[in-house]
Structure 1
């Protein structure tokens, strides 16, 4: 068995053994091997499900996107092994700061995303700030006797409620806030308030097409 996959305890060849094996392989295919977080594919599926749910239920949902500031300096100074250690350390902080219902994913090299269903604006701001502060305060060992600190920039956007949107547009809005945080000096949180989540022309078109479809049901 590959590292990270638990060996089934049932007798080899039995139905419980085969089912446990399938379950383990499915879990492995949905996880990032370095951090154990959800991988990019799992994140995209969760994002599509959540934006569809928000359109139907009207409940608030927040998408956070973040990356490690000046990460290239870590690799250049300490090597890629140290960089992997920083990535794992930040992933651990993210897992500690969210609820069991939230999905935390590693979406790229030093990039992460968090989907927070049923998330009120005040709660989302508190979670994002808690992540930022805990990462900043975390000493990360990169070599024997050598510890460094890291910071993250965080952007976030709320899914438009009662509006048929797309995962791509939601992610684009969150990315815009991440760029704001970086442009203002990094180690910052920038969230798009729900009050200014304007409906785009593409979302209006999707809503119109959906309404036309429902008229013929």
Structure 2
């Protein structure tokens, strides 16, 4: 039986890629590699769109979707390897006051300034993300408990030192509150439970006066009832009690 010839590659009109190219142009993406319609060009288009869909449009940081996927991967890795991992949640202090007093364009400048600090302060392996209006997060793999407080404070102090220019002769200071928690080592948990623990510490930082860092007092938290259920719910350990 004679093999049929491969179908010709569809052209740009068939694929309707013009809208995708417009999105990339608006985002400032550099030209795609290869000749238009070539395999290298199409692969570059796919890669660029994947990257664009994982980025926050205002700051260029990872967006919430990308953050949640990375958080799930990291807590699974910690459960298998036992290596420490720290999650920091950050919230811009009195952000509503900024928008109410100066308008949303100035609020955007403040958000971008904080994002720039996060991008410049973390390691290449870390993942800073914007997960809400004025909410940010950083996933720090292989961050030893001895350094957690130092890392969180370095980020907070760097933000505090920023002066945001909002007009020809007007500037604005900005601070953040930071909450952090370590993923439980060697324990099967969930990204949601990890985030809840960090969120509790962020709430504590806000309640204690803002512009401060609060981390869980111990790197390995007490195992919650939910985590016990995850660990033992599908096992046969109960047969030996």
> What is the TM-score normalised by the length of structure 1?
0.95
Change in 2 beyond 3 A, CA 1:169/1:6: same
CA distance in 2, matches of 1:102, 1:173: 19
Deviations along 1:26-53, one digit per CA (max 9) or x if unpaired, are 0000000000000000000000000011
Alpha-carbon deviation of 1:142? 1.4
Say which of 95, 98, 113 aligns to 2:122.
98
Aligned length: 214
Which consecutive residues of structure 1, in runs of 5 or more, have no partner in the other structure? none
Following superposition of structure 1 onto structure 2, how do residues 109-128 of structure 1 map, counting pairs within 5 Å? 109-128=133-152
Greater RCO (Cα-Cα under 8 Å, separation 6 or more): 1
CA distance in 1, matches of 2:54, 2:122: 19
- Following TM superposition, where does structure 1 have runs of at least 4 consecutive aligned residues deviating by more than 4 angstroms? none
CA distance in 2, matches of 1:194, 1:41: 29
CA distance in 1, matches of 2:178, 2:219: 19
- Which is greater in Rg? 2
**Residue 200 of structure 2 is aligned to residue 176 of structure 1:** yes
Say which of 19, 25, 29 aligns to 2:53.
29
- In the alignment, what sits opposite 1:55? 79
**CA RMSD, Structure 1 to Structure 2 (Å):** 1.5
> Secondary structure of the equivalent of 1:24?
helix
CA distance in 2, matches of 1:195, 1:159: 8
CA distance in 2, matches of 1:6, 1:77: 37
Contact 2:91 2:178 in 1 (8 A): yes
Alpha-carbon deviation of 1:6? 2.5
CA distance in 2, matches of 1:59, 1:212: 27
Which consecutive residues of structure 2, in runs of 5 or more, have no partner in the other structure? 1-21
Alpha-carbon deviation of 1:212? 3.9
Say which of 185, 204, 208 aligns to 2:228.
204
> Secondary structure of the equivalent of 1:194?
coil
Following superposition of structure 1 onto structure 2, how do residues 1-217 of structure 1 map, counting pairs within 5 Å? 1-2=22-23, 3-4=26-27, 5-195=29-219, 197-212=221-236
